[in-house]
Amino acid sequence: MPSNIHSRFGDLPLFIDGKASPSASEQWLPVRSPTDQSLLAMVPCATEAEVARAIEAAHTAQLAWREVPAPERARVMLRYQQLLKAHHDELAELLAQETGKILADARGEVWRGIEVVEQACGVASQMMGETLENVARGVDGYSLVQPLGVCAGITPFNFPAMIPLWMFPLAIACGNGFVLKPSEQVPLTPLRLAELFREAGAPDGILCLVYGQAPQVEAIISHPLIRAVSFVGSARVGAQVYRRATDLLKRAQCFVGAKNHMVIMPDANKAQVLSNLVGAGVGAAGQRCMAISVAVLVGSARDWLPELAEAFRAVHPGPWDSDEAAYGPLISHGARERVAHLIEEGIREGAHCLVDGREVTVHGYPDGNWMGPTLFRGVTAHMRLYQEEIFGPVLACMEVETLSEAIALINANPYGNGTAIFTGSGAAARQFRHEVAVGQVGINVPIPVPLPFFSFTGWRGSFYGDLHAYGKQAVRFYTETKTVTERWFDDDVPSGPNLTISLR
């Protein structure tokens, strides 16, 4: 355990069997504020034995929890929802401090997580099976929906409240146990979520939380009691997680990279386009998988570029508690250096940088991971600036003559997470939503994240798996179906050998 190291939140425990569990790990990682590099906490990389203990605790709890009636499980979710609302501002401030997000973004994230918990409150109706009487003479058939066992979630740094809340409330409401491994960069918010869940009446062990890096992920996936793995993160790591889980014949869903395009038609409302494009491009410092990182200007919409550049110059990053800041810092110094390198690479490859955010400063915070809004035009599909997910406040502008060209451009990109079109034409909107090969489409909505009664449905290189997050698909992911064929005999029916498999 670290010694003589002062941090604001101290040495973080694991969360196993319903309580804080100090770790015996010899490997501890610093959690630093992206705003000023101050030390927030020290987080342990759980030992192999601690990971196993967490999974076994979740398994033991699940054996009893699956017998709890679905309406009673839903009542735990109702109490949890109430607690999350009561602690909304506390959670938002904690989240803002460890991610650097401005408070408005942090509050919005916590609320979106609460909306998924609301969906989990209706789990009884979502787990109903099907029945058909007389599938044959005197024979009835029906299906039952039952939990899998112990499921695992591996979550990223950019949404430490919303994405864990995508996962464990629905999984547990379905009758499963759950082991959560959040990003080691943002452990504070997930730990508080787990504490509040226990306070809501969740049984000890049903939700366990461990920290770590690749070895801990491997220990989770390879444990024989883990039945399903849900992951959100980079395409490279997501591919590794998906291959490893499926090689072990486990269920997996992996939400990975993105390169989201927003198509701007000349008949769109210019003021709305400029406002929405700035927010979608630089909001949360561009560190969200649904951020717009490519604007496709169709025809005369290219003439709006000077005004778009002015709009980009008008917004600035700042600390989480600033009323003046449009967004916060990048998560780490390494993340900032990567974004700066991609900007330099774009310039070197011939793109025209209209607004360069690399030299931005924030008064009073010289050590923050700041990156100003950055805008390019003249970007082409062969450039690295276009091919890679930047995960920073950088918008690449491309110009085409027709909507069909814009759709072809989007469909040729390997990713298919989200896209949008801004237009005043219903015909153009219909063509776009019908032809574009992307899972989540916005019509005059820049970031079309669905509400939780739908599902988060990235396509192609943005998702590995078959069943998506939250909504009905998540319930299917965290459960399996048992089909029963049933016949009863009257006492006066003679018994004897039945040598046929026919039910007719």
- The 10s digit of each residue's pLDDT in 262-313 is 999 999 999 999 999 999 999 999 999 999 999 999 999 999 999 999 999 9
Mean per-residue pLDDT over the chain, rounded: 94
Q: Which CATH architecture has domain 14-257+458-485?
A: 3-Layer(aba) Sandwich (3.40)
Closest of 169, 183, 26 to residue 98, by C-alpha: 183
pLDDT given at position 497: 61
Instruction: Return d(Cα 86, Cα 425) in angstroms, integer.
Output: 43
pTM: 0.93
The residue from 151, 208, 289, 397 that is catalytic is 289
152-191 in b/e burial notation, b at 16+ Cβ within 10 A? bbbbbbbbbbbbbbbbbbbbbbbbbbbbbbbbbbbbbbbb
- Say whether 289 is catalytic: yes
Find out whether 181 and 24 touch, Cβ atoms under 8 Å. Answer: no
Instruction: Return d(Cα 375, Cα 369) in angstroms, integer.
Output: 19
Q: What is the band of 176 on the pLDDT scale with cuts at 50, 70, 90?
A: very high
pLDDT given at position 454: 84
Q: Could you tell me the two tokens for 404?
A: 């069909």
**305 exposure class (CB count in 10 Å sphere: 0-12, 13-18, 19+):** middle
Interval 15-72: pLDDT, tens: 999 999 999 999 999 999 999 999 999 999 999 999 999 999 999 999 999 999 999 9
Find out whether 143 and 483 touch, Cβ atoms under 8 Å. Answer: yes
Element housing 344 (H / E): helix 333-348
One-letter identity of residue 12: L
pLDDT given at position 502: 57
> Which residue's entry shows tokens 């780490």?
332
- Three-class SS state of 21: strand
* Secondary structure (DSSP) of 145-176: EEE-SEEEEE--SS-TTHHHHHHHHHHHHTT-
Percent of the chain with pLDDT over 90: 88
Q: Which CATH architecture has domain 260-414+418-443?
A: 3-Layer(aba) Sandwich (3.40)
Interval 440-456: pLDDT, tens: 899 999 998 888 888 88
One-letter identity of residue 208: C
Delimit the domains of the chain by residue range.
14-257+458-485, 260-414+418-443
pLDDT given at position 483: 96
pLDDT given at position 302: 95
Instruction: Return d(Cα 426, Cα 433) in angstroms, integer.
Output: 11
